[in-house]
Amino acid sequence: MKPEWNQWAREFKEQYPGANSALMPLLHRIQAEEGWLSDETIHDVATLFDLPESYVESVASFYSLFFRNQVGKKVVHVCVGLSCALAGSDRLMENLEHRLGIKEGQTTADGEYTLLEAECLAACNQAPVVQVNLRYFEGLDPERPDVLLESSKSPEEEVKP
């Protein structure tokens, strides 16, 4: 456990009526620093908020933007919802897999990219859509994954929770 977690836990507890509701902000905060949520992190957060470990684990595993495995610097979520599927998201996924040399669910060896599926990202009008970290890339050409990888490189556009 990092010493500052205590401080964060206290802050979030003050902002919310109960530990249950302060849990998600704290998990986000920790993940922003650590990159992912390890078993130890889950355990520590449970201790910080005096919640059952099972509860914290349930919450962390429920939301797709909490990572329970180590991920790369850029997490690429390819939408596989209906509109995106019709617009060729499966091709896009294939091309990304080929381009990055990994399969869906894996991380590149240099720790740069993690490739994941996402259920509908609610931007169907701009299908196919890819979410890189928290930023949307819309209306992509499934045959040109490089465009996505190039344009997602600029770090100043990063959005952090």
Please say which residue, 4 or 39, places its beta carbon nearer to other proteins.
39
Q: What residues numbered 18-77 form the site for other proteins, per CB under 8 A?
A: 39, 42-43, 52-55, 57-58, 61-64
C-alpha 128/C-alpha 109 separation (Å) is 26
Beta strand 135-137 pairing with 74-79: unpaired
For residue 151, state whether it binds other proteins (rule: CB under 8 A). no
Binding-site size, other proteins (CB under 8 A): 14
Instruction: Name beta bridge partners: 118.
Output: 79
C-alpha 148/C-alpha 160 separation (Å) is 19
C-alpha 86/C-alpha 101 separation (Å) is 24
For residue 104, state whether it binds other proteins (rule: CB under 8 A). no
> Residue 157 Cβ, how far from other proteins at the closest point, in Å?
28
- What six digits make up the tokens of 92? 């896009």
Residue ranges that bind other proteins, judged by CB under 8 A: 39, 42-43, 52-55, 57-58, 61-64, 119
